[in-house]
Structure 1
Amino acid sequence: MITTTTILLLCVAAFMAGFVDAIVGGGGLIQTPMGLILMPQLPVSTVIGSLKIPAISGTSFAAYQYYQKVQLNTKLLLLMMLLALCAAFAGSTLLTLVHNEFMKPVLLIVLVFVAIYTYTKKNFGQQVIKNHSLQQRNTYAILISIVMGFYDGFIGPGTGSFLVLAFISIMGFDFLHASAHAKMVNLATNFGSICLFILKGQIIWKIALPMAACNAVGGALGAKLAINKGNQFIRIIFLIVVLATLLRFAYDVFIK
């Protein structure tokens, strides 16, 4: 039985997750563990499926804030969002068939390098530094969309942060524009996963809907703060979230 206290605690977690996720991704690091801890009696797939509703709610409000205030490449985003949606659906489908534990040690190593590189390179993500040809840009965009969409559907934690990293290191965006574009693509990956979980009947709406409202408020506030504070602020939050993701995977690999 899911109590009122449980729902209230989940709503607090959803607000915090929406706030952090809107700035640089990584809201799942707050929301997902809390859901698994507070609802141990439910299947993991049901918990994850239910949490995707607040995730997409907060992402939607954050994406709207970015859309209003940050210049976006709309044509490129539409292509990326479509591909990411399909890839996330495929990843979530695979998740219902096999375990994803074998990927966590690899991701742990990747995150160590990401944290070190971001910390040591002070100008990382502070300005637009790459001028790709149209063909190069589209190729990179397609690869990012497919890989990150599949990752979000199959594994999940840290997707927003990995998207920000991809937009900076591969596409050459600064932190603010990387966060804005990443939020749009993340919106599509969440929707792709939700389509599968709805078809499987694995969403508990009495949990998902109140969490969605709280996540949306957090997402709107987080995006507004990121837009006002700019690149340096987002870089700091990015480092914190990457380190938190690293600790999460380290726990899963060495302790759990």
Structure 2
Amino acid sequence: MLDAILLFAVSLVANTLSALAGGGAGLLQLPILLFLGLPFGVALATHKLASVALGVGATAKHLRAGTLDWRFSGFILACGLPGVVLGSVLILQVPPHAALWALALLTMGLSIQSMLSPQLGQTANPRNRSGSSFWLGGAMLFVIGALNGSLTSGTGLFVTLLLVRWYGLEYKSAVAYTLVLVGLFWNGTGALALAFQAGIYWPWVPVLLAASVIGGYLGAHWALVKGNRLIKRMFEGVTLLTGLSLLYKALML
């Protein structure tokens, strides 16, 4: 019972922050599953399944707000999902040390870049929506999808900043796309792929699902109410902490 209460509290905080920042639930949720004794592969699959509920909670809020362009959403899914499957297949065969180092430094770089651009993502400025630049963004989504399938911490943050920096979305809209498409579809695909290889620890799934749904809805609600400036600050903070967490994991390997 104490383990379940601790798991719910940590997961609720992680998912609420993730729904505000556009990613980063794995910063707290995956480590607590490892701390409670799950092997890495099982913890990763269990976390990804729970993250699907984060997408459900956020989807409920954003569907009512009408913030998503479904044609653009289909493009993000078509580019990212094959990468997720590839990453999920590779993760259990590839030593993660070098990838953790690269991902840690890149994630912290996202935070620093956003901090150095005060007006980034504050207003919508659509760009790169046709021609080769449109598909180059799709290739970057495929690479992020592969990272999402293999290393769970922080990849939603990559999607959020790509949508802001490359496609010109404001933070509020970018976070909505990330939570719905990455949270619901990318993580769902990754959870299925990993479940067949490593398995899922089902006794803790109801606790994680409840925390994810509630946290996703609360974070999406506050994001819509508070606006882009708060979301940008949360993105920068969660991204920096995620990068430091990944760096710590790399040093411990």
**Cα contact 1:140–1:170 (8 A) shared by 2:** no
SS in 1 for 2:35: helix
TM-score (norm 1): 0.91
User: Using the alignment, how far apart are the partners of 1:48 and 1:113 within structure 2?
Assistant: 24
Asked if residue 23 in structure 1 is aligned to residue 20 in structure 2, the reply is yes
Indicate the residue corresponding to 1:111 in structure 2.
Answer: 107
- More displaced 10-residue stretch of structure 1: 201-210 or 239-248: 201-210
**Cα contact 1:76–1:141 (8 A) shared by 2:** no
How far is 1:255 from its partner? 4.7
- More displaced 10-residue stretch of structure 1: 136-145 or 9-18: 136-145
User: Using the alignment, how far apart are the partners of 1:150 and 1:22 within structure 2?
Assistant: 21
Asked if residue 65 in structure 1 is aligned to residue 61 in structure 2, the reply is yes
- More displaced 10-residue stretch of structure 1: 117-126 or 217-226: 117-126
User: What is the aligned counterpart of 1:197 among 179, 194, 197?
Assistant: 194
How far is 1:226 from its partner? 0.4
**Cα contact 1:61–1:216 (8 A) shared by 2:** yes
User: How many residues are treated as equivalent by the alignment?
Assistant: 251
Identity %: 23
**Cα contact 2:58–2:220 (8 A) shared by 1:** yes
SS in 2 for 1:200: helix
Asked if residue 8 in structure 1 is aligned to residue 34 in structure 2, the reply is no
User: Using the alignment, how far apart are the partners of 2:104 and 2:57 within structure 1?
Assistant: 30
User: Using the alignment, how far apart are the partners of 1:137 and 1:183 within structure 2?
Assistant: 24
User: Using the alignment, how far apart are the partners of 1:104 and 1:121 within structure 2?
Assistant: 26
How far is 1:161 from its partner? 1.0
TM-score (norm 2): 0.92
The AA in structure 1 aligned to 2:149 is G
- Note closer, same or farther for the CA distance 1:133–1:118 as it changes in structure 2 (3 Å cut): closer
**Cα contact 1:145–1:185 (8 A) shared by 2:** no
How far is 1:107 from its partner? 2.3
User: What is the aligned counterpart of 1:227 among 224, 228, 248?
Assistant: 224
Indicate the residue corresponding to 2:157 in structure 1.
Answer: 161
Indicate the residue corresponding to 1:50 in structure 2.
Answer: 46
Query: Map of 1:34-49 to 2, 5 A cutoff?
Result: 34-39=32-37, 42-49=38-45
Asked if residue 122 in structure 1 is aligned to residue 118 in structure 2, the reply is yes
The AA in structure 1 aligned to 2:77 is M
- Note closer, same or farther for the CA distance 1:53–1:251 as it changes in structure 2 (3 Å cut): same
How far is 1:48 from its partner? 1.2
Query: Map of 1:140-155 to 2, 5 A cutoff?
Result: 140-155=136-151
Asked if residue 248 in structure 1 is aligned to residue 234 in structure 2, the reply is no
CA deviation vs aligned residue, 1:55-84 (integer Å, no higher than 9, x gap): 111122112312221432201212322432
Q: Give unpaired runs (5+ residues) of structure 1.
A: none
- Note closer, same or farther for the CA distance 1:113–1:51 as it changes in structure 2 (3 Å cut): closer
**Cα contact 2:42–2:201 (8 A) shared by 1:** yes
How far is 1:183 from its partner? 1.6
How far is 1:139 from its partner? 0.7
How far is 1:29 from its partner? 0.3
SS in 2 for 1:129: coil
CA deviation vs aligned residue, 1:141-173 (integer Å, no higher than 9, x gap): 422331111111111100111111110111111
